[in-house]
């Protein structure tokens, strides 16, 4: 059997994806972007800007049409420059008194990963509350906040909120609302049962674990995803705890992984987009990151590999690299005892720490119902590791 490292999501034949309508959806990162084909009555010439609303005939039943994606082939951005990240979770008040005041409620989804919060309005948080948010999310890995007004804010206000946590990432192959390239839009609409079957003819599952844009030198940290339209059932987002994935390894293997680096590549994603007449707003990059990274706020060590973007381990021969990555990917993907599943509902904002988790969408509904979300993606520090320490298990959960 071929190692899973070669079975990249980008290998899926584009027509299958298009039929399923997950051109800019599913694994919110990997299977995303590139607009559907224009309807027959549209001019044959590819316009410089494609708009989802035009693809729907100029009118839409999307609840938040201002967040529908557009793809501007004229948008070109230079390579990202280094910046100094300030980790707001570091030193934040761990009593969370400004984040979780009296009357709010927090409940664990599983023992090691995931919490759900009600009775808090994120948009009203003070700076101290935002700092505590960063720490809580680092500790719990993913937190779902219900009954939020976030989607109703002016788009710039939502961005300003997210910008507190780091420099906004502009996705290289993403569609976005006009004038707001920093907003990463996840959108699937209209796929039917037979199209779903066509997609699954080439794959066993729509699950594709990844952390977002780990090919960047400074990968995202505290990351926000909020929903506008959701199918009645389906489209949950799965999260795996990469700290616990590290902790479960034997001491000899942990020790061996320390000091190793892996190559993370954005080239396949860019090519996937190009092949389908999608946008490539910034030229793709590769970066090497440690296999084990340390979180700057909690001190926890986490595996930092993902099937979406990690291609090889530096210094190992091809077979060695593929075998070790295949083991780690399998280890992470089957760790249901350190995973959480977030069910979406209107007005939900999900916040995760992209440094210590992997996630996957589930494209499991066949009704054609719209699923529409926006992601705000603040970048964080250059991934770093701290030395192996035998039996060093931080327990922050
Ligand atoms: Fe993603």
Most distant CA atoms of the chain, gap in Å: 65
Mean pLDDT by 10 residues, the chain (397 residues): 30 34 39 48 67 94 97 95 98 98 97 98 98 98 98 98 98 96 95 76 92 98 98 97 98 98 98 94 98 98 98 98 98 98 98 98 93 98 97 62
Distance of CA 32 from the midpoint of ligand 1 (Å): 9
Beta-ladder partners of 264: 287, 310
Nearest of 171, 176, 183 to residue 49 by alpha carbon = 176
Among candidate residues 210, 293, 295, 311, the one labeled active-site is 210
Q: Show Cβ contacts of residue 220 under 8 Å, excluding neighbours closer than 6 positions.
A: 166, 169, 211, 212, 213, 354, 355, 377, 378, 379, 380
Neighbours of ion ligand 1 (CB under 5 A): 28-29, 212
210 is catalytic: yes
Show the tokens assigned to 219.
């990968």
Q: Is 85 a catalytic residue?
A: no
Predicted local confidence at residue 193, as pLDDT: 73
- For each of the domains in the chain, give its residue range(s) and CATH number, in order of start: 4-39+64-72+90-376 (3.60.130.10)
Active-site residue, 203 included: no
**Helix (H) or strand (E) run with residue 328 in it:** helix 318-333
The predicted pLDDT at position 47 comes to: 62
Please choose, from the candidates 2, 22, 380, the residue with its C-alpha nearest in 3D space to the C-alpha of residue 208.
Answer: 22
Q: In angstroms, what is the span from residue 15 Cα to ligand 1's centroid?
A: 22
C-alpha 102 to ligand 1 mean position (Å): 33
Identified catalytic residue from 282, 289, 311, 359:
359
Q: How far is the CA of 210 from the centre of ligand 1 (A)?
A: 6
Which DSSP category does 275 fall into? Answer: H
Cα 187 to middle of ligand 1, angstroms: 12
pLDDT at 304: 98
Ligand 1 centre distance from Cα of residue 211 (Å): 6
Do the beta carbons of residue 241 and residue 138 sit within 8 Å?
no
Distance in Å, CA 213 to ligand 1 centroid: 8
Q: Indicate which residue of 212, 229, 311, 371 is catalytic.
A: 212
| Cα angle: 349, vertex 351, 355; to 5 degrees | 160
Tell me how far the alpha carbon of residue 184 lies from the centroid of ligand 1, in angstroms: 10
pLDDT for 290 equals 98
Residue 375 designated active-site: yes
Distance 175 CA to ligand 1 centre (A): 14
For the entire predicted model, the pTM comes to 0.89
Strands (E), 168-309: 184-188, 222-229, 237-241, 261-265, 286-290, 292-294, 301-303
Cα distance between residue 137 and residue 131, in whole Å = 10
Residue 39 CA, ligand 1 centroid: distance in Å: 28
Q: How many residues does the chain have?
A: 397
């Amino acid at each position: 059997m071929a190692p899973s490292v070669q079975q990249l999501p980008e290998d899926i034949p584009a027509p299958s994806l298009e039929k399923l309508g997950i051109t800019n959806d599913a694994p919110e990162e990997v299977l995303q972007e590139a607009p559907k084909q224009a309807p027959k009555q549209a001019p044959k010439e590819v316009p410089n800007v494609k708009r989802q609303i035009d693809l729907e005939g100029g009118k839409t039943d999307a609840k938040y049409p201002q967040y529908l994606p557009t793809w501007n082939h004229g948008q070109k951005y230079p390579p990202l420059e280094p910046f100094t990240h300030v980790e707001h979770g570091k030193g934040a008040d761990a009593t969370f008194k400004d984040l979780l005041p009296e009357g709010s409620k927090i409940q664990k989804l599983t023992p090691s990963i995931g919490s759900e919060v009600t009775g808090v309005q994120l948009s009203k948080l003070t700076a101290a509350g935002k700092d505590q948010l960063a720490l809580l999310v680092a500790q719990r890995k993913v937190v779902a906040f219900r009954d939020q007004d976030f989607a109703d804010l002016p788009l710039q206000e939502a961005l300003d909120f997210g910008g507190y946590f780091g420099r906004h990432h502009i996705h290289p192959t993403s569609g976005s609302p006009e004038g707001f390239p920093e907003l990463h839009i996840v959108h699937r609409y209209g796929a039917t049962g037979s199209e779903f079957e066509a997609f699954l003819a080439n794959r066993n599952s729509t699950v594709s674990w990844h952390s977002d844009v780990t090919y960047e030198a400074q990968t995202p940290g505290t990351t926000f995803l909020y929903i506008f339209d959701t199918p009645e059932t389906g489209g949950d987002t799965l999260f795996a705890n990469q700290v616990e994935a590290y902790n479960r390894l034997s001491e000899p293997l942990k020790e061996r992984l320390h000091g190793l680096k892996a190559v993370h590549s954005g080239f396949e994603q860019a090519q996937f987009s190009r092949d389908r007449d999608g946008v490539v707003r910034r030229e793709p990059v590769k970066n090497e990151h440690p296999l084990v990274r340390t979180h700057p706020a909690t001190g926890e060590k986490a595996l930092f590999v993902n099937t979406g973007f990690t291609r090889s381990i530096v210094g190992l021969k091809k077979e060695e690299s593929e075998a070790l990555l295949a083991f780690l990917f399998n280890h992470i993907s089957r760790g249901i005892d350190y995973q959480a599943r977030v069910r979406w509902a209107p007005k939900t904002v999900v916040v995760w720490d992209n440094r210590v988790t992997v996630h996957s969408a589930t494209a499991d509904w066949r009704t054609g119902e719209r699923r529409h979300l926006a992601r705000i993606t603040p970048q964080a520090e250059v991934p770093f590791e701290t030395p192996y320490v035998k039996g060093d298990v931080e327990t922050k959960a």
